[in-house]
Amino acid sequence: MRLTRLRVVLGAGLVAAGTIAGTAVAATAAPAKALPIVMVQCNGAGQVKPSSTLQPGCMGSNADITRLKWSAWGSSAFASGTAGFNDCTPSASCGPNKFTKFPALFVLWRPVAWPKHHGREYFTRMTEIFTGSGKHFPKGLPVSKTYTLRASQP
């Protein structure tokens, strides 16, 4: 009888030790997956890999970014696309079809914690890099420009 009680006590101890060890291994083996970093849109919503058009910082009607093709989205994001500028005179009939368009690359970077969105980050910088030459490059503009992106829009 004593031998049976000893076996039960030892068996229960091993099961308890195994359960604790197994729980510890499971807790360290599967860390919580980080949420994807977002781009804050004009409506204040965060979006992962925005569609083929982008309005960072709620640009006015004088600029647009279209034909985006995202090649990476992680701690930074990369896309190729088209930057368009409304360069018509105020007396002319202006609109999206009157924009002068240039090929460009876009990089989203410098993620930080997104206020009031526990566990989420958003990109705070966007760099635009013009890739064309000659008539496919905007006169008077630098090859690249970095914009600050805000956590919330007006």
CB 46, CB 73: distance < 8 Å: no
Rounded CA-CA distance 103/105 in Å is 7
How many CB atoms within 10 Å of residue 130? 18
Banded model confidence at residue 34, pLDDT cuts 50, 70, 90: confident
Tokens (6 digits) for 9: 């006590």
Q: With cut-offs at 50, 70 and 90, classify the pLDDT of residue 8.
A: very low
Confidence band (pLDDT; 50, 70, 90) for 151? confident
Position 21 pLDDT exceeds 50? no
In the chain, what are the domain boundaries?
1-31, 39-148
Please give the span between the terminal C-alpha atoms of the chain, in angstroms, as a whole number: 78
Summarize the confidence of residues 123-128 as an average pLDDT.
95
Question: Which pTM value belongs to this model?
Answer: 0.71
Nearest CA to 105 out of 76, 74, 139 is that of 76
